Amino acid sequence: MKRKIFKGLLASAMLCGALTLSGCTSTNDQVVIYSNADDEAVEAMKKTLDNNGYEGKYLFQTFGTSELGGKLLAEGKDIEADLVTMSSFYLDSAQDKKNMFVNLDFETKSLEQYSSYYTPITSQEGAIIVNAEELKANNLATPTCLKDLAKPEYKDMISVTDISSSSTAWLLIQALVSEYGEDGAKDVLKGIYKNAGAHIEDSGSGPIKKVRAGEVAIGFGLRHQAVRDKEDGLPIDYIDPIEGNFSLTESVAIVNKDNNEHQKLAMEMAKCIIEKGRKELLKTYPNPLYEGELSDVVNKSAYPKVFDNKLTVDLLEKHQKLSEECK
């Protein structure tokens, strides 16, 4: 999951860059797409749209999750975007506060029930990631649970993500709170942060990059990335923590534009992404979301779990505060 917080100046520069790199400028007849998706998901969606007759008919702009979430909550249906792909919990919070999305008008055949105004494009799970060579070189045992990561023998050998900047860290904190309660989670998290030291990253992919490079032996990150690294022959392995493999979905929604032509075309594009794009998306994000989709053995986590409380921006902020108290 991509970095979540951008400074105002950087955000503006990125927006200008998105316009320049796409080789187009916004026009009145283009559907405007706002997204917090990773590069791989963005490319898969663009490829799907371009291959199905929509090339040149949309403008795709990417943002960090906190920045885009802030725009949704502040602007509501007055936002420039016609179509949004975004963390599902942010879409729920935006709809609760701004009532800004319309119900999807196509059948999705999703495996789980979702809000009527969005349907998921990707699902990503958390797991412990290790560099087997570094564990051996440092005579370290392979951890089996998140609580192990607080053990003093892992001092300076762990990398995790900061929940204030990346929602990947929320997968870790959900697991700790679910298993040990808030007080118990704090005890474990304090030990993890102490062991991580300078290796607390802003980017969701930061920990796995450090594990790959051998800068640390252990990280917490996205399971599918570690599975792919192992299949590619890197000395990377992954452990499903007994506290649970929690997941987050990113979904597509259509902004209420009073049923104008942009809204109608945006709805067509959303349908295209789901019906024609999932095959491409599954190459990077292998968790099944719809009927007929299958996952091979390596992509089936051992302990899939869902947090007891509904995921909302308010809950995220609560867990961000918990995290800060542990530093």
Would you give per-residue pLDDT tens digits along the chain (327 residues)?
Answer: 544 433 333 443 344 444 434 434 445 789 999 999 988 999 999 999 999 999 999 999 999 888 899 999 999 999 999 999 999 999 999 999 999 999 999 999 999 999 999 999 999 999 999 999 999 999 999 999 999 999 999 999 999 999 988 889 999 999 999 999 999 999 999 999 999 999 999 988 999 999 999 999 999 999 999 999 999 999 999 999 999 999 999 999 999 999 899 999 999 999 999 999 999 999 999 999 999 999 889 999 999 999 999 999 999 999 999 999 999
Give the global pTM.
Answer: 0.86
* Number of Cβ atoms within 10 Å of the Cβ of 236: 22
Judge contact between 245 and 305, C-beta under 8 A. yes
* Pairing outcome for strands 304-305 and 245-255: parallel
Four-residue CA torsion sign, 79, 82, 88, 93: positive
Q: Which residue has the tokens 């960090």?
A: 64
Query: How far apart are alpha carbons 38 and 57 in whole angstroms?
Result: 21
Residue 280: CB atoms within 10 Å: 18
State the amino acid at position 108 in one-letter form.
T
- Structural domains in the chain plus CATH codes: 8-122+249-299 (3.40.190.10), 124-246+301-324 (3.40.190.10)
Structure tokens that stand for 151 in this block: 């053990």
With contact defined as beta carbons under 8 Å apart, do 246 and 198 qualify? no
